Amino acid sequence: MDTKTLIELIEKFVDSEKSGEVKETVREELQNTELSVIDRAIINAYLLQQDGKIEGAIEKWHSIANITEGIENEIAAYAWFSIASLLTQDDQKEEALSAYDKSLNLNPNYAVTYNDRGATKSLLGQFESAISDYDEAIRLKPDYADAYYNRGGAKNELKQYEPAIADYDEAIRLEPDHADAYYNRGIAKGELKQYEAAIADYDEAIRLKPDYTDAYYNRGTAKNEIYHHEAAL
């Protein structure tokens, strides 16, 4: 397994339900005697990350970034991206933005970095700037459902409900099982007093995610608005 394949594997499954399988795969890879120093460091950083050892993982990714910067900039960019993700997770959002900036300086064509930097800006209430990042992520990757979804969320926060709905529409077109997109599109429609359409979105969110408490709550609120009080109860 070369470095690029290793990173792609980690990137694809790091937050998925299959992360446990990937963890075992990369752990087994450590037994490979032909493994490069960088690949071994990447695996160790990933394992620390998966074990919740954030400080150790950040330190390991820092060492990878320092070794590869100017030599293998794509690897260094991924290291800074990983650092930024961990800092966000650790509620160090301003520091995370700085790490995302370093990542993009090294690799300005990585859509995921723009999307995730936008998400961190949204957490800081920097919605206009976040939208610019989502725009760039979508420019680089036009089928990026999560970037459309996140941009819709930022527009919702700015009370730009109709543009938000258009983004949720696209997220759902690209990923029809995106329960959160249905839910948040319902919120935007509710703000526009389109209560019947909002209820239909909450219905779909609940169908996809039967334990979606907030969707039940908001559906009840929408039903109250159109005087369906028994159904709201």
- 99 in any annotated domain: yes
Note whether residue 100 is domain-resident.
Answer: yes
**Residue 39 pLDDT exceeds 90:** no
Q: Is residue 142 part of a domain?
A: no
Collapsing DSSP states into helix, strand and coil, what is residue 106? helix
Whether 194 is covered by a domain: the verdict is no
Summarize the confidence of residues 143-163 as an average pLDDT. 98
Taking the C-alpha atoms of residue 79 and residue 54, their distance in angstroms, rounded to an integer, is 14
What pLDDT is recorded for position 47? 84
Q: What is the pLDDT of residue 44?
A: 85
CA distance linking residue 147 with residue 140, whole number of Å: 11
Give the pLDDT mean for 87-99. Answer: 95
The pTM of this model reads 0.86
CB atoms within 10 A of CB 123: 13
Task: Grade residue 1 by pLDDT with cuts at 50, 70 and 90.
Answer: very low
User: Which residue's entry shows tokens 């529409």?
Assistant: 169
pLDDT at 29 exceeding the cut of 70: no
Alpha carbon 20 to chain centroid, angstroms:
19
CB atoms inside a 10 Å sphere around CB 108: 12
CB 29: neighbour CB atoms within 10 A? 16
- Report d(CA 92, CA 2) in Å as an integer: 32
Phi, psi of 116 (to 5 degrees): -75, -35
Q: Rounded to whole angstroms, how far apart are CA atoms 98 and 112?
A: 16
Contact 180, 149 (CB under 8 A): yes
Report whether 138 contacts 147 (CB < 8 A).
yes
Does residue 24 fall inside a structural domain? Answer: yes
**What is the Cα–Cα distance from 208 to 176, expressed in whole angstroms?**
10
pLDDT digits (tens, 9 = 90+) for 169-226: 999 999 999 999 999 999 999 999 999 999 999 999 999 999 999 999 999 999 999 9
Q: At what angle do helices 73-89 and 3-13 cross, to 10 degrees?
A: 20
Work out the number of other CB atoms within 10 angstroms of the CB of residue 202.
Answer: 27
Q: What is the pLDDT of residue 156?
A: 97
Range of the domain at 23: 1-108
Q: Residue 10 above 90 pLDDT?
A: no
Average pLDDT of the chain is 90
In a domain, 158, yes or no: no
Q: Give the whole-angstrom CA distance, residue 82 versus residue 4.
A: 15
More confident residue, 72 or 182: 182
Q: Total structural domains in the chain?
A: 1
State the CATH number of the domain containing residue 67: 1.25.40.10
Output the CA torsion sign for 210, 211, 212, 218: positive
Whether 170 is in a domain gets the answer no
Q: 7 vs 159, which has greater pLDDT?
A: 159
Indicate whether 32 belongs to any domain: yes
C-alpha span between 7 and 164 (Å, rounded): 33
